[in-house]
Structure formats: structure tokens, C-alpha cells
Amino acid sequence: MAGLADVPARLNSLLADIAETVCSRFQGKITYASGTWERVDWATFDIVSADAYGDASDAFRQGLREYLRHGKPLAATEFGCCTYRGAAERGGTGWVGVVDHDADPPRINGDYVRDEEEQAVYLREMLAVFDEEGVDTAFWFTFAGYEDPHHADPRFDLDMASYGVCALMPDGGVAPKRSFHAMAEAYHTATPVLLVQGEDACTDVAERRT
């Protein structure tokens, strides 16, 4: 535990080195997709970013507001849920223990019920939360679970453990799920939001490092 106290300083030193190197070659805005447990020095970056698996609760909303206090655009670099009933409550851990990969062939490990609508509803609810709280950009995780193919038999429908908006089919193709159509509808009707022009983070890093 004593060693963990040094982690934030070491992490931010590493990120500053990386940012300085990137900015010497790349003139665009930079960010770092952080975990919610990481204490990042956001002065180094143009955009604040975090993986945002959550819900509409006050606690989750307060967490988003803490990121926004830095005065920079906020990106949710990951959010999503799996494709079974009850997956929304498990968020980023929804895949854990669902598939028995030691079985031959791999199979669903328990009594899970495929529920594409739950995934679609979760997507809509989270986009509404992000919009209400002023999140600039949100990235759903993920397009398709290429290691978790769909199967007509629920016992082998590994796609239930996938966050994909498309399902990998037995023939190797992909098929859109309800969440895909929900995303298409939401993004089609969304009002475009421009990034706020902020401090030149690359110059700031170089100045602080010298």
C-alpha cells in the first residue's frame, strides 16, 4: 500500500514524457483514456478522458462533474454493456464469468437470457446522461465481439458476453443488434458540438519540463 502512494506521480511523469514526444510530431489535440481510479494531471492534455461505465445515479453524475471542473472537453472513451438481461447493472464487468472458455466448445456459464433491448436502452440512457452533464464525446465499446460469436442455441450464444453493437455470425459476417440501430438513431438526431479551444497543452508541457 505504501508503494501505491508513489504511483500517481510516476504515472504523470511518464504521461508528460509521452505527451512531449507526441507533440513534437503531432499538431492535433491529445488526450489519455484514463481509468476512474487514476489521478491524472490533466494540464498535460487538451481533452480530459475517462472510461465511463456507469448509470444515471447522482454519484456517477458527480464523478463526471469532477472531470469537467478542469475546464476542458470531456470524452467518455468507453461505455457500454453486454447483451443479456441484467448486464446494464454490471457495466464494465458484465463479461466476467459469463463464458466458460475451458469447455470444448466454449459455452455460456449459467442461466443467462439474451436481451438486445437492455443493451439498446442502456445506450440511450447513458447518452442522455452524457448530454445532460455536458460530456463532449462518447465512444461505445465496441463494434463487435469477434471472439464471442452468436449462436442460435442459447447455451453457445457467446455474443451475450459481448459489448458489440453488432453480433459476429457463424458465417463470419456481422449483423446489427438493436443497440446498433439505437446508436444510429441517436447520432443521426444529435446536435453537433464543437470542441472548446483550450490551452496549447503541447507548449505547456514543454515549458513545464524545461
Tens digits of per-residue pLDDT, 183-206?
999 988 765 443 323 344 444 444
Give the separation between CA 158 and CA 155, rounded to whole angstroms.
8
66 is written with which cell numbers?
469532477
Q: At what angle do helices 116-133 and 58-68 cross, to 10 degrees?
A: 50
Identify residue 25 by its one-letter amino acid code: R
Please, where are the H alpha helices in the chain? Answer: 7-23, 58-68, 87-90, 116-133, 178-189, 201-209
- The reported pLDDT for the residue numbered 62 is 97
Q: Which residue has the cell 440512457?
A: 125
Structural domain harbouring 185: 48-194
Burial 15-46 (b: 16+ CB within 10 A, else e): bbeebbeebeeeeebbbbebeeeeebbbebbb
Q: Is residue 94 part of a domain?
A: yes
User: How many domains does the chain fold into?
Assistant: 1
Mean pLDDT of the chain: 90
pTM of the model: 0.86
Q: Is residue 39 part of a domain?
A: no
- The reported pLDDT for the residue numbered 189 is 75
- The reported pLDDT for the residue numbered 190 is 66
Q: Is residue 142 part of a domain?
A: yes
* pLDDT above 50 for 100: yes
- The reported pLDDT for the residue numbered 187 is 83
Q: Which residue has the cell 449483423?
A: 175
What residues contact residue 176 under an 8 Å CB cut-off, 6+ apart? 165, 166
- Closest alpha carbon to 42 in 185, 177, 205, 176: 205
Q: Is residue 206 part of a domain?
A: no
Q: Is residue 28 part of a domain?
A: no
Strands 137-140 and 74-79: parallel
Q: Which residue has the cell 433491448?
A: 117
Q: Is residue 115 part of a domain?
A: yes
Burial class (CB in 10 A: 0-12, 13-18, 19+), 171: exposed
Q: Is residue 93 part of a domain?
A: yes
How far does Cα 186 stand from its chain's mean position?
A: 17
pLDDT tens readout for residues 125-160: 999 999 999 999 999 999 999 999 999 999 999 999
Q: Is residue 16 part of a domain?
A: no
